[in-house]
Amino acid sequence: MPKSETIRSLERGLQVFKVLQTIQTATLLQLHQRTGISKPSLLRILLTLTHEGMVHRRIGDGRYHVSTKPVRVTRKDDPFDYVAEVATPLLDRLCQKIIWPSDLAVPAGDHMEIRETSRTLSPFVFNSAGIGNQINWLLTGHGRAYLAYCPKEERESILARLRGSANRQNWLASHPGRLDKIFAEVRRCGYATRDPSFSGGLYEHPSDDGLSGIAVPIRTADRVHATINILWVRRALTIKDMVLQHLPDLQRVAKKIAASASNKPA
């Protein structure tokens, strides 16, 4: 077909899509630099691709990537990408309702990892922890919520890895009796909180972030897919107040994400 008969807008859309397939995730600026397409045109293209389910935009950092839904064979399959994608609009709506933001975290070997966050949507000032940041298994609400509800074999495997770790913040892995009590309390309450000794921030560089949090698992009958929390400024509310006001909201969102995760297309 002669060049004059091609559909220019479709060509540009495919060009953007191919770039995303190549570099996995990209900002609007990176796509502009790679394609030479103006930013207003890129935004229209990306909006169209997102509407068609071909591209996903994370709320945590605004980066675009190829969606898991129609094109899983064209990209490296990450089992947690789909969970993060279905969680994005739910985190958005939860933050709009309660004002305070949430993180979604997934297992990543000897730590957990933030995979999506609504911190950028909250009117309150939070630290810069975002997508890709590492979370300690044993001292955080995320880690405790996951370990309390995951299958016993998985929990023992994670704890065995942590016992062999040089990270001093994994010391609880060597105290199974104490951990059993912690996990039993999480299951009794239905949510997990940070350890009192945990100062917040990244576990490699701990520093007090002034926040509190409650976390719940995103789980189906046979597994835990991820965890989700609510974060707030410690001086604004007690944990008891947050639980009374918003734990049901958090649990409803977790159930909706779990339902979508269990219906992941083959």
Residue 1, pLDDT score: 42
Q: What is the pLDDT of residue 203?
A: 42
Residue for token pair 């045109």 = 41
Q: Enumerate the domain spans of the chain.
A: 3-74, 81-262
Fold of 81-262: Beta-Lactamase (3.30.450)
Picking from 178, 156, 77, 159, the residue whose alpha carbon sits closest to that of residue 110 is 159
- What pLDDT shows up at residue 208? 67
Average pLDDT over residues 257-262: 88
CATH fold of 3-74, please?
A: Arc Repressor Mutant, subunit A (1.10.10)
**Which residues, listed in sequence order, are joined to residue 224 by a DSSP beta bridge?**
219
Q: For residues 146 and 132, which has the higher predicted lDDT (pLDDT)?
A: 146
| Tokens describing residue 80 | 């947690």
Pick from 75, 64, 54: nearest CA to 32? 64
* 21-72 residue pLDDT tens: 888 788 989 888 888 898 888 888 988 888 777 888 888 888 888 887 654 4
- Kindly tell me if the per-residue pLDDT of 235 is higher than 80: yes
Please report the pLDDT score of residue 266 as a whole number.
Answer: 53
- Cβ neighbourhood burial of 190 (10 Å; 0-12, 13-18, 19+): middle
In angstroms, the Cα distances linking 26 to 1, 35, 133, 208 are 32, 12, 18, 31
Residue 256, pLDDT score: 96
| pLDDT score of 264 | 66
- Least Cα distance to 136 among 103, 164, 155, 114 occurs for 114
